Structure formats: C-alpha cells, structure tokens
C-alpha cells in the first residue's frame, strides 16, 4: 500500500522556518503589544491644566522597559517615575482650598482618570484579533 502527500516538502520547510523564527517572532509580537499599550496609555494620560504652567510631566514620563524572558514567559514593564501617577490613576483626597468653603477643614475627593485600567481593558479587547492576524502572518500554524 502506498500514498502520496502533495506539497509535504513545502509544509515541512514552512514548519522548520516557523520553528526557527518563533522565539524572535513572539518577542516582536510582545514588543508590538507593549507599544500599543504605551500609545493608548499616553493618549489617555491627562495634562495638568491646574499647574502654573500647563504640565505634560506625567504624560511624557511613561517608558517601555526591556523585554524579559523567564522560562516560557515574557514580560515588558510600562512604567513612570512620577510620584503622583497613582493619585491620577485612582483618585485622591485633598484639603478644600481656603475661601472655597465655610469649613476650611473639609476634604474634597479628586476622582481618578483610570488611564492604565482603561488602556489595559481596551488592549485586552483588541488582543484576540491582533493575535489572529499575527498567527495568519506567521504561517497560520500554532
């Protein structure tokens, strides 16, 4: 009994190429995802219009770290060293400005912008289609 499989050589070559490229391709995919998150995050980060001069400090402070591989896991940190980033993200309480309230000891809540949370949620919605496109561009094999 015999049988013939057409294009087996092409399929094997394609599989070998993908296997050789896979670590580099997955790293490039992770870097692209980090860049997408960075862009979303930067767009959502507010500008401080209450400062004496309009301040882009937080918006311009976001950085993308290096890709780190630990076993079969990859990590890229997107970070800022601006101290107030947590307050801008989650909100905070501050004393009422004098003259704004009869009770100078009152505290007001400044709501957060949730720019990190919303950016991550948006990216999570986009990831399935982005990943499918990546698979298709890399030979459709997974």
Number of domains in the chain: 1
Distance, in Å, from the CA atom of 49 to the CA atom of 56, rounded to the nearest integer, reads 9
Q: Is residue 142 part of a domain?
A: no
As a whole number, mean pLDDT of residues 98-108 equals 69
Task: Report if residue 2 sits inside a domain.
Answer: no
The answer to whether position 63 is within a domain reads yes
Closest Cα to residue 59, out of 47, 71, 69, 51?
47
Split at pLDDT 50, 70, 90, the class of 48 is confident
Residue 98 lies in a domain: yes
Is the pLDDT at 79 greater than 60? The verdict is yes
Judged on CB neighbours under 10 Å (0-12, 13-18, 19+), 13 is exposed
* Residue 70 three-state SS: strand
Please report, rounded to a whole number, the percentage of residues in the chain having pLDDT higher than 90.
Answer: 42
pLDDT of amino acid 56: 87
Position 115 pLDDT exceeds 90: yes
Question: Pairing state of beta strands 91-95 and 107-111?
Answer: antiparallel
Residue 99 structural domain: 8-137
Q: Classify 48 as helix, strand or coil.
A: strand
Lowest mean pLDDT among 15-19, 28-32, 81-85, 115-119: 15-19
């Amino acid at each position: 009994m015999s049988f013939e499989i057409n294009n087996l050589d092409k399929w094997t070559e394609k599989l070998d190429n993908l296997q050789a490229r896979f670590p580099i391709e997955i790293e490039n995919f992770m870097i692209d995802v980090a860049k997408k998150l960075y862009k979303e995050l930067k767009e959502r980060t507010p500008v401080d219009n209450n400062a004496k001069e309009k301040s882009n400090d937080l918006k311009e402070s976001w950085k993308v770290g290096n890709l780190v591989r630990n076993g079969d896991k990859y990590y890229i940190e997107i970070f800022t060293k601006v101290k107030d980033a947590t307050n801008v993200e989650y909100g905070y309480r501050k004393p009422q400005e004098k003259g704004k309230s009869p009770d100078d000891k009152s505290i007001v809540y400044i709501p957060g912008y949730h720019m990190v949370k919303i950016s991550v949620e948006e990216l999570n919605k986009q990831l399935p289609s982005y990943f499918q496109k990546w698979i298709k561009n890399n030979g459709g094999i997974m």
